[in-house]
């Protein structure tokens, strides 16, 4: 009712402008006999990111206490919002996920909070997920019946070799210990996603070669099969959580092979940077917004050709990147996007 009322008021306020224009009558025919696309019943997803409170863009620091590490998990509005969706998928991930260490098992590196670091990836040091915090998060997930997808660190053990390219072997020991702890506590994880925005020419911050990435997925699949054994609740694998690069996506699917990846995830920020003064006009331009269907179509074709066992997912989308547009992304006009 609130959304309808807001839309009604918005339309009434523009009524004189609408009436002042020349009116062209059109007839629209809707073909209801052909299915264009289908969605899983749990297709609605919200990402909880890792950004600390001092993550800033354009002289503005909007994140506050809204991340995995500092969100007030006991706030009743949070639980009520999750439950209102009945089966909301919560993705734990984002730009800093490939710098997150899990404070469990035989971790040989110090596990400190994120801190600003000039030469660090995205301007931050490595960070830490303590198991007490992981326990608290899962208590919230269990209480609200959220469906959980967790993004694993795919850069652990690797090093920067040139520009934004990272090489070397993935050190899976910390991830394995984290999975073992999660299983031992009985926490239900629907899917594990491997890495964030590491996909070739469209990578952000760091990139990993598609062949190397595909082999890592085989390794991750073996770890999951080993640890979960014959469990009826064995999680699926999502990858790569990046911007679509057709050649890179095709390669990693070919290398990883049949039935390793279950959901092929890509990200959408089709409005450009949040600082763009033309953000509102982009949001209200249907032709611009419709361009994403071409990307999704190309992704779907790539999957059908190289990984027909997997499905196409939008793993993250925020309209405008770099924390959104101030006084735009958090207002009514963003609902059109």
Query: Which of 41, 197, 211, 247 is an active site residue?
Result: 197
Query: Which of 193, 226, 294, 316 is an active site residue?
Result: 316
d(CA 95, CA 49): 8
d(CA 209, CA 11): 50
41 is catalytic: no
197 is catalytic: yes
The encoded tokens of residue 239 equal 């990858």
d(CA 151, CA 157): 17
DSSP 152: E
In DSSP terms, 91 is beta-bridged to 47, 149
From the CB of residue 222, how many other CB atoms can be counted at a distance below 10 Å?
A: 12
Q: How crowded is the C-beta side of 274, counted as CA atoms within 13 Å?
A: 19
Cα 124 → chain centroid: 19
H or E element: which one contains 277?
A: none
Q: How many residues are given for the chain?
A: 337
Least Cα distance to 237 among 134, 322, 307 occurs for: 307
Which amino acids are annotated catalytic? 197, 316
């Amino acid at each position: 009712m609130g959304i309808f009322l807001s839309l009604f008021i918005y339309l009434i306020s523009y009524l004189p402008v609408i009436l002042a224009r020349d009116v062209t009558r059109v007839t629209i025919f809707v073909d209801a006999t052909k299915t264009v696309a289908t969605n899983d019943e749990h297709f609605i997803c919200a990402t909880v990111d890792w950004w600390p409170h001092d993550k800033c863009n354009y002289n503005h620091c909007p994140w506050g206490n809204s991340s995995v590490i500092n969100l007030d998990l006991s706030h009743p509005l949070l639980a009520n919002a999750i439950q209102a969706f009945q089966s909301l998928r919560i993705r734990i991930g984002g730009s800093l996920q490939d710098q997150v260490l899990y404070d469990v098992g035989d971790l040989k590196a110090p596990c400190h909070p994120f801190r600003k670091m000039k030469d660090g990836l995205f301007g931050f040091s490595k960070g830490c997920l303590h198991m007490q915090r992981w326990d608290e998060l899962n208590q919230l997930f269990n209480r609200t019946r959220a469906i959980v997808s967790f993004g694993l660190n795919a850069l652990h053990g690797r090093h920067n070799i040139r520009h934004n390219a990272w090489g070397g072997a993935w050190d899976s020991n910390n991830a394995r210990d984290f999975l073992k702890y999660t299983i031992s506590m009985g926490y239900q994880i629907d899917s594990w996603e491997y890495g964030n925005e590491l996909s070739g020419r469209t990578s952000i911050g760091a990139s990993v070669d598609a062949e190397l990435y595909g082999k890592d997925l085989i390794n991750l699949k073996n770890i999951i099969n080993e640890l979960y054994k014959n469990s009826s609740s064995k999680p699926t694998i999502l990858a790569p959580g990046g911007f679509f690069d057709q050649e890179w996506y095709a390669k990693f699917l070919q290398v990883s092979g049949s039935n390793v990846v279950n959901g092929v995830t890509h990200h959408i920020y089709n409005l450009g940077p949040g600082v763009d003064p033309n953000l509102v006009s982009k949001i209200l331009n249907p032709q611009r917004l419709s361009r994403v269907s071409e990307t999704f179509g190309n992704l779907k074709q790539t999957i059908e050709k190289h990984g027909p066992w997997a499905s196409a997912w939008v793993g993250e989308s925020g309209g405008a990147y770099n924390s959104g547009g101030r006084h735009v992304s958090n207002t009514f006009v963003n609902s059109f996007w």
